[in-house]
Amino acid sequence: MEPRIPSIFSQFRLGAPQIHTKMGLLLPYQLKKSPASLLFSKQGLLAVVYCLVFIYICTLFFGSNKSRDNFFAENHECVNRKTESLEFDELYKRLPEVVNQCSVRGRLNIQGFTNTDETKYHVMPTEYALQPRHDCTIISLGVGKDVEAEKQMLAALPHCKFFGADPVNDTNADIYPEVGKFFNVAVGGSNGIMRANVLEDQYKFKDVPYIDIAAFMRNLVKKTVVDQIMIDIEHAEYPMLPFLLKTGQMYKEGVTICQINIEVHNPSPEQKQEFYKYYHLMMAENQYTMLTASTIIGHIRLFMINHADEECHQRYIGDIYDRPYTTTTQKPF
Ligand SMILES: *[C@@H]1O[C@H](CO)[C@@H](O)[C@H](O)[C@H]1NC(C)=O
């Protein structure tokens, strides 16, 4: 009974010197440091100033980055705001003006390539796109006996391979090989043989094979990334429009188009509705941004870029934009 209590005390007594020893070890260490702490506080003050400057720079950096992030979104929002209430007739009429008002094209390095009656636009490649491991594919649907724009493109983009298709063989089959491979076929939205009035030496009816753009990519071009496609196919673009959506057969087969120059030909009332439907699906997908638009005798020429696709982004947009909305399939605005 008695020996137990002292034994506890003795443990305390044994413990106490140990604590003192520790404090004794700590004390000189702190005392040694305290003269230096005066100097350290000056450094500390400097550090605080540096930190504030750093935070200020960070704010500037992220602030400007934020506006960079958003420029395609701003473009989208602007076009949406100005067109959402328009009926199909009005939309077709107003769209070119709206596209040009909202366009963020000033942010991109766009070059024009002119043939005898029009200009095709192309966002020039980033350093990434010019790396030899990335090929470049440029397609002309509807050659129209004129390859001036393609020739200029080839001069500016010598790493690109060109593929052209036109139901008219005459002249096109002779001149297109100056830039690339020619296919004597009508590319559109379905497959078959059509009796077409085509200009050879004179206008005459001829059986012309036609294939849809997904089959054209799969069987003839055989590339999965299209850097540029120029579509001028005399109203056959209307049945092709659904193929240019993410829900279309071509995208399902893994083909991505980075840039599109398309001539939307003076539509019939039904075609205006087809365009209207395509337009709203395209806006909802938020994959393409329309950068330029012009009108000529009822046709609309549109130039657009795929801002959402990873590969297209790296090839033609790069660091100036961070693709903030691409992880979600759709971003409603
Ligand atoms: C198309 O034109 C090329 C070059 O002139 C010629 O070699 C070829 O036979 C033509 N094809 C048809 C189907 O007329």
Residue 217 lies in a domain: yes
CA of 164 relative to ligand 1 center, distance in Å: 14
Assess contact for 99 and 190: CB atoms under 8 A: no
Pick the residue with more confidence: 218 or 56? Answer: 218
Residue 43 shares a structural domain with residue 84: no
184 lines ligand 1 (CB under 6 A): yes
Residue 118 domain-assigned?
yes
Task: Note the pLDDT tens digit of each residue in 227-285.
Answer: 999 999 999 999 999 999 999 999 999 999 999 999 999 999 999 999 999 999 999 99
Do both 151 and 32 map to the same domain? Answer: no
Eight-state DSSP code of residue 286: T
Residue type, 58: C
DSSP structural state of residue 310: H
User: Can you tell me the distance from the alpha carbon of 264 to that of 10, in angstroms, rounded to the nearest whole number?
Assistant: 99
Q: Are residues 127 and 16 in the same domain?
A: no
Query: Which residue has a Cα nearest atom 2 of ligand 1?
Result: 173
CB 183 within 8 A of CB 164: yes
Q: Does residue 161 sit in the same domain as residue 180?
A: yes
Backbone angles phi, psi at 326, to 5 degrees: -85, -15
Total domain count, the chain: 2
Residue 165 lies in a domain: yes
Q: What is the DSSP letter of 179?
A: T
Residue 53 sits in the same domain as residue 100: no
269: its two tokens: 């009332």
- pLDDT of 150 > 90? The answer is yes
pLDDT band at 328 (very low <50, low <70, confident <90, very high): very low
Q: Which residues share a beta bridge with 259?
A: 305
Domain membership of residue 321 (yes or no) is no
Residues 82 and 48 in one domain: no
Together in a domain, 144 and 94:
yes
In the reported structure, the alpha carbon of residue 173 is separated from the centroid of ligand 1 by a whole-number distance in angstroms of 6
Note the pLDDT of residue 21. Answer: 41
Name the residue range of residue 22's domain.
7-66
Q: What angle do CA 233, 80, 96 make, to 5 degrees?
A: 40
Q: Please check whether residues 208 and 113 belong to one and the same domain.
A: yes
Q: Does the pTM of the predicted model rise above 0.85? A: no
Strand 192-199 and strand 186-188: the pairing is: unpaired
Say if residue 98 is in the same domain as residue 220. Answer: yes
Phi then psi for residue 134, to 5 deg, are -100, 125
Our answer on whether the CB atom of 169 is closer than 6 Å to any ligand 1 atom is yes
